[in-house]
Structure 1
């Protein structure tokens, strides 16, 4: 049974600039000769008050060209020729339009709007040149030549809102000019400064599409195929599959074959390590916590794990005393399993070590096998969520809350952000800053990019898994949404 429940989207209109978003700027600005031998650029001419009046429909084309030619001592016909050549060469970003068509089909209630500072002749020329495949995408068009005012005048935006019935707080405004985005945001719209088509597409899918629903669809459509990779090479292993199961509670998403007793990290041929690879307590603890096992079977394995506690009282990774390895995240994973079965008291030194690591921020550079601080903080929050030991919660909850607040807004990949958000949710902390960053990183197919999750220190390799990243991201966004919804109910 899945734990996912998607929230509702809240965007009704998306407004796009025309020239700065859908067309590439010219690689070399056209320079026009003047009578005093001091050339002037077309870009400079289109930034003048005369051109702006032309774009507002206050001058016709001939009047504009005559005034500019006179003001800047241009040779007759040069400006007209340059503008005409620009129109003939103009084309739009076909890939971006294709992506926006997909977005519109996925969110049919959202209205698309063009809002451009453009003259009537240029607007008419683009309508004819680009035709139905481009213009039919948009439900409304507001060229400045017909509005009678240009961006960033507040009158332009109010005219647009009034004539579309759009609510500013449900409207996204996309433009390549910061001053235009600022003016829209000042009226309550969600401003998006255009930088590149890929980033815009991801951002809009995150704002308009249901991130949780899309992520869930990605996981479902790739069920059984969420393989880990190292440098593009598929690695068949159990740990990532168990992480997905532990995070989602959905066994249909993963391929797992239960061993007779202890679990091995690898489900296929071991890679980037020895050919004979021992079973380990990390994978085993994750499996015993996320899959049904009889109490007798679990307790017998816990008894055996205690035989692999070293002289410092810390749990070793491998069920092979010839390979002594200790990792703080792995110790937390094992401690959680012991606490689930009311045996946490048997690992007092491990518990004390975890507390020291937390208090002294020793986790900041990651651990031997886990590359980020969030792995430690996430596994500690998981321990507090799954234990019935109130004394343990009282011991760790306050310092963990302080430490995770320190991490809000810190750099990190999608898995790192998702883990951070899950810790925040477990402690009742709303974190809209990292929610926004995580949503913006969602790809068009609904998943998130591969995040490195596990180190092979002997070979200097890192293993990643898109399925793990997506499962954590979806659950993180869902839990933060639930936290906000609960706060809203309490506030009513």
Structure 2
């Protein structure tokens, strides 16, 4: 075994082969919606829409198919210098797939493609931009434009963190602006990318940092758009690699939980990555061994809900999304700044 190899190289290879084999004309398959966080009964988009109408009296106005967040995260997780042909082909396919989720005339990305009655959001934008930048697919000027757009969310007087949607205003009926700590951490990571960081310091970024810090010291819970606490730990830990003010609190938070039992393979992968990003004192080889042992015969890891809608209990996940996180978790990288 060479110095660059790990005991989990075979599992990584099988995972990449599964993902490569799942590629179709539109890229990787979309995550499926379900009504429970564990995604025990995935639904088609049409079935999910009908179930929500029957059980909650809410019509989404569209079938929640063709989400792009999985592809956006795929770019952010896969290696830009992958030695395997399957990985290089995956990256190329995902880059094309992510491109179809861009706003037609604004530097924004959406969870669903243009034409679906669902607004572009700052979370999808931050993850898509970080993935494209990881593979050298954005110029510094483009990064600056995306950073300016993320920061330009202050519609009216607002000293709070960057919200999920540009369309929110302080006068939004009955709910106000929508915030999420995972989204905030993802934004902070993207704002530190070369080119994007030229927009800093900025009051909106500082408010967003305080929001993440407060969540790190609060009770261990999910967030508005992420049911699992591990999703926040992963996002905060990732941001801590480029935001020094998050390094100590993120490490403390991760050290408190990484040895606890993760209920799904996705949560286990997120904990492994959080431990790697923060340098937390945890048995990462043991956790990675557990993750590798959970791989299915076809090379995938089981689906679990990763993100969710905020107003109704609709959770999204897939074997492909879990496998993307698992493959990254089984291939340690040196985080930026360490």
Give your verdict on TM over 0.5: yes
Look at both structures and tell me which one has the larger radius of gyration over its CA atoms: 1
Partners in 2 of 1:244 and 1:436 — Cα distance? 22
Q: Which position in structure 2 is the counterpart of 1:213?
A: 13
Q: Which residue of 1 aligns with 2:58?
A: none
Whichever structure has more strand as a proportion of its residues is: 1
| C-alpha deviation, 1:405, in angstroms | 1.7
Q: How is 1:46-445 mapped onto 2 (pairs within 5 angstroms)?
A: 210-223=10-23, 224-230=27-33, 231-233=42-44, 235-249=65-79, 250-252=90-92, 254=94, 255-258=97-100, 259=102, 260=104, 261-267=107-113, 270=116, 276-291=117-132, 292-309=137-154, 311-322=158-169, 324-340=177-193, 341-342=196-197, 343-346=199-202, 347-360=205-218, 362=219, 364-385=220-241, 387=242, 392-393=243-244, 395-407=245-257, 408-428=259-279, 429=281, 430-445=283-298
Task: Give SS of 2:225's match.
Answer: coil
State the secondary structure of the residue aligned to 1:479: coil
Deviation at 1:344, TM superposition (A): 4.5
- The answer to whether the 8 Å contact 1:285/1:337 transfers is yes
Give the Å deviation of 1:253: 5.1
Shift of 1:354: 1.2
CA distance, structure 1, for counterparts of residue 141 and residue 115 of structure 2 = 31
Question: CA offset at residue 256 of structure 1?
Answer: 2.8
Q: Flag the 1:6–1:232 CA change in 2: closer, same or farther, 3 A.
A: farther
Aligned length: 266
Aligned residue for 1:463, secondary structure, equals strand
The Cα shift of 1:465 comes to 2.0
Once the two structures are TM-superposed, the CA of residue 461 in structure 1 deviates from its matched residue by 1.1
Give the CA deviation at 1:419: 1.0
| Residue 447 to residue 466, structure 1, CA distance change in 2 (3 Å) | same
Please give the alpha-carbon distance, in whole angstroms, between the structure 1 residues aligned to 2:111 and 2:144: 21
With structure 1 as the length reference, what TM-score do the two structures score? 0.50
Q: 5+ residue gaps in structure 2? A: 34-41, 46-64, 80-89
Q: Please report the TM-score for the alignment, with normalisation by the length of structure 2.
A: 0.71
Q: Which runs of 5+ in 1 are unaligned?
A: 10-208, 271-275, 484-492
1:222 CA drift (Å): 1.4
| Map of 2:329 onto structure 1 | 476
Q: CA deviation at 1:468?
A: 1.5
Contact 2:74-2:131 within 8 A present in 1 as well: no
* TM superposition shift of 1:406: 1.5
Cα 1:458–1:269 shift into 2, 3 Å: farther
The secondary structure found in structure 1 opposite 2:99 is: coil
**2:237/2:251 contact within 8 Å kept:** no
